[in-house]
Amino acid sequence: MATHNPSLFSRLPSGSVPRTDPEVVPKASRRQFSAAEKLRILQEADACTQPGQIGALLRREGLYSSHLATWRRLRARGQLQALTPRQRGPKVVADPLAEELASLRRENARLQTHLTRAETIIDVQKKLSLLLGLPVTPELPS
């Protein structure tokens, strides 16, 4: 629990309440580092020779040691593109064949539903014709 500084309240006029900052802080966003920033930090870390220098670098940059380990591993693999920040969430793959296949499957399902309804209507019409004694036309060969 935060304690109040008594000297702060002693400077306020009697009966007044200290003001708070009315500005609404926007939602914090995840920090992202460009490939150039990551390489710069890695070069600084590689240049550290004295004990404690890497720790000071991490504190100054606001990083964890796991960041350095991951970036070094990616640099060793030669995956420079992997050092750039990526969009989080499911990846969207724009494959034209997959899109066409999905479209055709949706159309096929729609047509199957339409066909089932039409067959049901024809069956009802045949049964109604038989009940009313109307002549039934022979089915067309399929």
Kindly list the domain boundaries of the chain, sorted by start residue.
31-85, 97-136
How much is the average pLDDT of 33-60?
Answer: 89
Q: Is the pTM of this model over 0.85?
A: no
Tell me what pLDDT residue 13 has.
Answer: 56
Tell me what pLDDT residue 84 has.
Answer: 64
DSSP symbol at 33: -
d(CA 106, CA 116): 16
Tell me what pLDDT residue 140 has.
Answer: 65
CA atoms within 13 A on the CB side of 59: 5
Q: List the one residue out of 88, 102, 82, 100 whose CA is nearest residue 39.
A: 82
Report CA-CA distances (Å) from 17 to 2, 14, 24, 99: 17, 9, 20, 63
How much is the average pLDDT of 55-76?
Answer: 90
Each residue of 83-116: pLDDT tens digit? 566 777 887 777 888 889 999 999 999 999 999 9
